[in-house]
């Protein structure tokens, strides 16, 4: 520690001399006592001063100005005088910053030369009226020391500097500076900030940070008055990703997400912002979008990259996606509006399965209606607003009506009759699908019981969703309902889509086996449109395949569709299953299906779905007979007779 500051630099000694001179007029005993008190005060003051300087964990140094500068002098003059000041004192923490160099490295040297790196601190000190409090500064201490004086590794410190001045008669005569190293705490805060703003898995911006980044881009555009410049927000939601997590585990799922994030990055240009909003949802913001077509092209490029097969640990996986696009300023001028519009468009993309969708007011209206439907649907189920329409199925060989498919409709008190494509997806996304399906089963069994009392013996098919197959109470409920309405189990058939079966094949197999043991028939609906495995199909206790209407409708004009229909019939018969063709629209298709050996058919040519009160009038006027269930069971299908 340098002693250059004592006593000439200390105000304590000057005050002491003044006090002693004023004592000359007092008696000697008073003079002696006063002198002792002042000396003791000085000793205590210097003791506190030295203790603070030595024991402080902060770096402290003092600069004296050989030529004091007026505090009202201009900036340049003040800077010149301060930089010409001399460092007269510093403590050990200060020297440690520079590799524990000797004190003489700085003490006695001009401030501006010894600490040239502190020039920005001096500027801030002057600009703030010769008083600086907790000024944050990035400091390169070893640049201020000759290389030959210490062996060291270059380092950068973030320091917090405070400076206080000593002014006499309007002139700055010296100043003290103290600084503490906040590098580690700064890094820790930056780490916390990074974690708060980024997704832990992909290291991409998260939803909140993405929203702020988009807001900043939009604000900058507004400031530059570039309101004509398009900006696009693309929202991607992965399809069937839950299957990967459920089947292969979250570790594989996380690796897939990182792979997809990497693929999306490869489709972007400088300035584009990619974020993971959560779960299996990603977003891209294009601040420099030249046109609507460019946004569509980028969305399709990313979509194609996501759909590429992923090979991981010898497993091949394919993940699809649904894409919604919102444009600024067309669809909004703030981040929240764009995210909302892109989300609505993405929902439309998921529903239509026809590639990226742009936001439209029409889809927005549908979204508002969906929100309203969610609120109304629970009321509808509780207050029995659901009605069933019945579409007949005929035996092509015998030209007999063998049963009906029960199709649910919602008799809304204000909107009228609502078809299932409008509310079933809403029910699927909530827990309402469970009570809704149970109510449909009850109404179908109740109607079967009434028809049996009227001498009409037939079966009725009801549809089950993937969520229903996860319901552990489904089988006991069906059993209790059959007993309640006194309907034989053989009269109830359940239809399940291929995709529902493949979501959890083992679980589906267990539920279907229990239903089959009760005597129910099981049919796979929309066969040919899903991804069912023949291995699982062979194990499933199903009794019928329903060929999807998309193949039947064009089969006379499309050779590929006709091949698919014929192959499905052949496959089903080889497995001992009945075949039902949906979507029969004309007599020519009906006749061709009969020639191909199809067992059953339904469609508008036979009959549209009709309300329950019109079923008996239709039966009385139709060209087909009505076969009792027992007779149909006792006679083998036509293909087995052959």
Closest by Cα among 539, 464, 457 to 494? 464
Q: Which CATH class is domain 370-628?
A: alpha beta
The DSSP annotation for 608-635 comes to --EEGGGHHHHHHHSSSEE--HHHHHHS
Element (H, E) at 80: helix 75-83
Tokens of 15: 């005050």
Q: Which of 50-59, 67-76, 101-110, 161-170 has the lowest mean pLDDT?
A: 50-59
Q: Over the stretch 584-623, which tens digit does the pLDDT of each residue have? A: 999 999 999 999 999 999 999 999 999 999 999 999 888 8
Q: Which of 21-35, 41-55, 104-118, 415-429 has the lowest mean pLDDT?
A: 21-35
Q: Hunting for tokens 């703003």 — which residue is that? A: 197
Question: To which CATH superfamily is domain 56-186 assigned?
Answer: PAS domain (3.30.450.20)
Burial of residue 629 (number of CB atoms within 10 Å: 0-12, 13-18, 19+): middle
Is residue 421 within 8 Å of 410, Cβ to Cβ? no
Cross-strand partners of 278: 281
Q: Hunting for tokens 């400031």 — which residue is that? A: 223
Backbone angles phi, psi at 3, to 5 degrees: -105, 15
CA angle 188, 194, 195 (to 5 degrees): 90
Burial of residue 102 (number of CB atoms within 10 Å: 0-12, 13-18, 19+): exposed
* % pLDDT > 70, the chain: 81
The CA distance from 566 to 528, in Å, is 12
Tokens of 103: 């004190």
The pLDDT, as a whole number, for residue 236 is 95
Burial of residue 326 (number of CB atoms within 10 Å: 0-12, 13-18, 19+): buried
Closest by Cα among 74, 613, 108 to 390? 613
Neighbour tally for 473: CB within 10 Å: 10
The pLDDT, as a whole number, for residue 188 is 85
Higher per-residue confidence, 525 vs 11: 525
Q: Over the stretch 369-399, which tens digit does the pLDDT of each residue have? A: 666 777 788 888 888 899 999 999 999 998 8
| Residue 81 banded pLDDT, cuts 50, 70, 90 | very high
Tokens of 524: 């796979």
| Residue 140 banded pLDDT, cuts 50, 70, 90 | confident
Neighbour tally for 367: CB within 10 Å: 18
| Residue 86 banded pLDDT, cuts 50, 70, 90 | very high
Region 198-359: CATH code:
3.30.70.270
Per the document, the length of the chain is 642
Q: Over the stretch 421-456, which tens digit does the pLDDT of each residue have? A: 778 877 876 778 899 999 999 999 999 999 998 888
Neighbour tally for 66: CB within 10 Å: 10
The CA distance from 139 to 157, in Å, is 5
Average confidence (pLDDT) over 522-548 = 74
Higher per-residue confidence, 529 vs 577: 577
Pairing of strands 59-70, 171-181: antiparallel
The CA distance from 378 to 380, in Å, is 5
Average pLDDT value for the chain: 83
Taking CA atoms, 566 is separated from 93, 332, 528, 579, in Å, by: 89, 52, 12, 11
Q: Which of 78-87, 224-233, 465-474, 478-487 has the lowest mean pLDDT?
A: 224-233
The CA distance from 266 to 318, in Å, is 18
Burial of residue 123 (number of CB atoms within 10 Å: 0-12, 13-18, 19+): middle
- Best-predicted range by mean pLDDT among 60-74, 175-189, 337-351? 60-74
Count of CA atoms in the C-beta half-sphere (13 A) of 234: 29
Is residue 321 within 8 Å of 307, Cβ to Cβ? yes
Is the model's pLDDT at 76 over the cut of 70?
yes
The pLDDT, as a whole number, for residue 381 is 86
| Residue 50 banded pLDDT, cuts 50, 70, 90 | low
Neighbour tally for 36: CB within 10 Å: 10
Element (H, E) at 280: none
The pLDDT, as a whole number, for residue 241 is 81
Higher per-residue confidence, 200 vs 441: 441
Three-class DSSP category at 179: strand
Pairing of strands 400-412, 459-464: parallel
Q: Hunting for tokens 């007269």 — which residue is that? A: 88
Omega of the bond leading into 329 within 30 degrees of 0 (cis)? yes
Higher per-residue confidence, 346 vs 534: 346
Q: How is the chain split into domains, by residue range?
A: 56-186, 198-359, 370-628
Tokens of 39: 């000396």
- Best-predicted range by mean pLDDT among 189-193, 336-340, 359-363? 336-340
Is the model's pLDDT at 4 over the cut of 50?
no
Q: Over the stretch 319-345, which tens digit does the pLDDT of each residue have? A: 889 999 999 988 888 999 999 999 989
Average confidence (pLDDT) over 264-282 = 93
Cross-strand partners of 354: none
Q: Hunting for tokens 């996986």 — which residue is that? A: 317
Pairing of strands 400-412, 416-418: antiparallel
Tokens of 459: 């079966």
Is residue 111 within 8 Å of 128, Cβ to Cβ? no
Q: What is the DSSP letter of 110?
A: B
Count of CA atoms in the C-beta half-sphere (13 A) of 328: 26
The pLDDT, as a whole number, for residue 448 is 94
Neighbour tally for 133: CB within 10 Å: 10
């Amino acid at each position: 520690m340098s002693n250059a500051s004592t006593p000439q630099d200390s105000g304590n000694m000057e005050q002491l001399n003044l006090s002693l001179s004023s004592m000359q007029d007092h008696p000697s005993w008073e003079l002696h006592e006063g002198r002792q008190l002042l000396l003791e005060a000085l000793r205590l003051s210097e003791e506190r001063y030295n203790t603070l300087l030595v024991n402080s964990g902060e770096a402290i140094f003092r600069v004296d100005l050989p030529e004091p500068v007026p505090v009202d002098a201009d900036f340049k003059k003040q800077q010149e005088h301060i930089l010409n000041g001399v460092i007269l004192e510093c403590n050990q923490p200060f020297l440690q910053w520079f590799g524990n160099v000797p004190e003489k490295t700085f003490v006695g040297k001009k401030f501006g030369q010894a600490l040239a790196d502190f020039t920005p601190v001096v500027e801030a000190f002057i600009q703030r009226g010769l008083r600086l409090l907790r000024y944050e500064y990035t400091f390169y201490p070893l640049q201020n020391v000759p290389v030959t004086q210490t062996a060291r590794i270059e380092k950068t410190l973030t320091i917090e500097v405070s400076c206080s001045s000593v002014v006499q008669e309007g002139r700055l005569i010296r100043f003290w500076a103290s600084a503490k190293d906040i590098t580690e705490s700064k890094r820790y805060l930056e780490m916390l900030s990074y974690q708060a703003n980024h997704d832990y898995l992909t290291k991409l911006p998260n939803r909140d940070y993405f929203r702020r980044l988009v807001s900043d881009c939009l604000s900058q555009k507004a400031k530059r008055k570039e309101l004509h410049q398009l900006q696009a927000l693309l929202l991607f939601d992965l399809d069937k990703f839950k299957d990967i997590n459920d089947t292969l585990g979250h570790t594989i799922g996380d690796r897939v997400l990182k792979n997809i994030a990497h693929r999306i990055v490869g489709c972007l240009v400088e300035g584009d912002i990619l974020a993971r909003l959560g779960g299996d949802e990603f977003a891209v913001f294009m601040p420099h979008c030249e046109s609507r077509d460019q946004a569509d092209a980028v969305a399709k490029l990313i979509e194609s990259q996501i759909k590429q097969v992923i090979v991981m640990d010898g497993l091949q996986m394919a993940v699809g996606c649904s894409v919604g696009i919102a444009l600024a300023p067309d669809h909004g001028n703030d981040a929240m509006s764009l995210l909302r519009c892109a989300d609505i468009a993405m929902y439309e993309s998921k529903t239509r399965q026809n590639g990226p969708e742009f936001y439209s007011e029409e889809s927005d209206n549908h979204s508002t209606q969906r929100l309203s439907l969610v609120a109304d649907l629970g009321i509808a189920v509780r207050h029995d607003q659901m009605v069933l329409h019945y579409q007949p199925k005929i035996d092509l060989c015998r030209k007999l009506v063998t049963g009906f498919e029960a199709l649910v409709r919602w008799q809304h008190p204000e909107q009228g009759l609502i078809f299932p494509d409008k509310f079933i997806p809403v029910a699927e996304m909530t827990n309402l699908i469970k009570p809704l399906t149970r109510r449909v089963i009850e109404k179908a069994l109740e109607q079967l019981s009434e028809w049996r009392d009227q001498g009409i013996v037939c079966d009725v098919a009801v549809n089950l969703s993937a969520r229903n197959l996860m319901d552990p109470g489904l089988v006991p409920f069906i059993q209790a309902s059959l007993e309640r309405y006194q309907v034989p189990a053989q009269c109830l058939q359940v239809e399940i889509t291929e995709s529902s079966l493949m979501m959890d094949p083992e679980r589906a197999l267990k539920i279907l086996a229990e239903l089959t043991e009760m005597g129910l028939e099981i049919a796979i609906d929309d066969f040919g449109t899903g991804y069912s495995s023949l291995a699982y199909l062979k194990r499933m206790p199903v009794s019928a395949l329903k060929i999807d209407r998309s193949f039947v409708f064009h089969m006379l004009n499309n050779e590929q569709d006709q091949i698919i229909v014929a192959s499905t019939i052949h496959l089903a018969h080889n497995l001992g299953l009945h075949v039902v063709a949906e979507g029969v629209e004309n007599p020519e298709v009906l006749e061709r299906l009969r020639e191909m050996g199809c067992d059953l058919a339904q469609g508008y040519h036979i009959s549209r779905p009709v309300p329950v009160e019109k079923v008996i009038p239709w039966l009385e006027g139709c060209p087909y007979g009505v076969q009792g269930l027992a007779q149909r069971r006792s006679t083998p299908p036509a293909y087995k007779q052959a």
